[in-house]
Structure 1
Amino acid sequence: MKRIGILGGTFDPPHLGHLVIAEEVRVALELEEIWFIPTYTPPHKNDSQTSAYHRMKMLESAIDSNNSFKLNTIEMERLGKSYTIDTVKVLRSEFPDYKFYFIIGADMVEYLPNWNKIDELVQLIQFVGVKRPGYKLETHYPLIEVTVPILDISSTMLRRRLRNKESIKYIVPDKVHRYIREKGLYEDR
């Protein structure tokens, strides 16, 4: 049975925190691959700041140096808001011999009771929680806890830095930084 980690998110933009979490969970749980699944529109947020196309291109650039990292565009192809339960059902149908581990930050662990069809979802997938500053990994839902180096980086912080013309060097992969500059993303419009 192939063991696959799933890291979903807006990735607006993708940053080193995403990559560190993915690699640390992959190694700790001995997973074959991590599938990055960018959402078209997350159900718990307003629309993303950047188009799905640009977010996908940045993510491709961010993960291209790790053969264990794959891009899966299932939620982008669906368009609109995506719920994890729908994505997991499709993945389990397409890959019945795979075991999936859904990686979430501690901020999302606290939000689990609000997830769409959470009681059904926990029967279909194994959640993996990683620590995040300011949050606790406490839930009554089944959860594997993986300790990762804490990098207090968020896409929100990066967008703010970019709008304020502050450096993001060494916080995002060089290829992502270059793509952001070339496309003029996150500039104050």
Structure 2
Amino acid sequence: MSTLKYGIMGGTFNPIHYAHLFIAEEVLDNFKLDKILFMPTGTPPHKQNINIDAFHRYTMTKLAVSNNPNFLVSDLEVLNSNVSYSVDTIRKLKLNHPDIEFYFITGTDAILELPTWKEPRELLSLCKFVSVNRPNYVDENLVNKINIIKNNLGGEIFLLNGHDINLSSTQIRQRVREGKTVRYLLPDSVNDYILKNKLYV
């Protein structure tokens, strides 16, 4: 039986929006994955000032992916009361699902910081990485920098270009604070949830 291939789409998703969903679909298609597992963070090590409860972020993510059978949501990090490190999360996933090959999806800026993550060599031995180039991010030495990381730490890192949707959760939160519409920037179900629960105001 062939091994299943799952993408891990981690993030604060504060809130989740169409760029997140498009990236997930793009990786699913390009790497012929079986599923994308969205992993909302509980307490991430690099973003300590999150003013929205993890439950809200998890619920919005569930709402956003509910109509796509290839998208799943995990509460593994949300239920973790301690700081969530990627290597610990992947260890748990591999322990619970030894038959699944995992592809960790993240932005190019995060990939270049990979050597500073907790146990990066171990992490790269547990899963493959997909580096998604962010809009307006230009680095002529990017491929060389990624090759240096691979040579130093081992593992496989793939670079996916072509993502040009210039949209961020920061922009959406700012628009909500200013009383501006965010419709068509994220799924209607997420927009309705934000309005109902008076988030970001």
**TM-score, normalisation: structure 1:** 0.94
**Structure 2: unaligned runs, 5 residues or longer:** 151-155
Tell me which residue corresponds to 2:69. 67
Counterpart residue number, 1:166: 180
Q: How many residues align?
A: 187
Q: Judge conservation of contact 2:7–2:35 (CA < 8 Å) in 1.
A: yes
Aligned alpha-carbon RMSD (Å): 1.2
Quick check: 2:9–2:38 contact (8 Å CA) kept in 1?
yes
Structure of greater Rg: 2
State, as a whole percentage, how many aligned pairs show the same letter.
Answer: 39
1:47-85: CA deviation from partner (whole Å, max 9, x where unpaired): 312111111111111000100000111111112310000
Q: Which residue of 2 aligns with 1:151?
A: 165
1:57 is the counterpart of 2:59: yes
Q: Residue 130 of structure 1 aligns with which residue?
A: 132
Does the CA contact (< 8 Å) of 2:111 and 2:131 recur in 1? yes
Superposition deviation, residue 165 in structure 1: 1.4
2:178 equivalent to 1:181: no
Supply the distance in 1 between the matched residues of 2:66 and 2:88 (Cα, whole angstroms).
Answer: 27
Give the Cα separation in 2 of the matches to 1:159 and 1:59: 16
Q: Which stretches in structure 1 are left out of the alignment for 5+ residues?
A: none
Q: Give 1:184's aligned amino acid.
A: K
* In 1, Cα distance between equivalents of 2:4 and 2:191: 33
| Pairing partner for 2:35 from 28, 33, 36 | 33
TM-score (norm 2): 0.89
Aligned to 2:9: 7
CA deviations 1:12-59 (Å, max 9, x no partner) are 000001000000000110100000011111100113121111111111
- The CA distance in 1 between the partners of 2:81 and 2:165, in whole Å, is 31
CA distance in 2, matches of 1:21, 1:159: 20
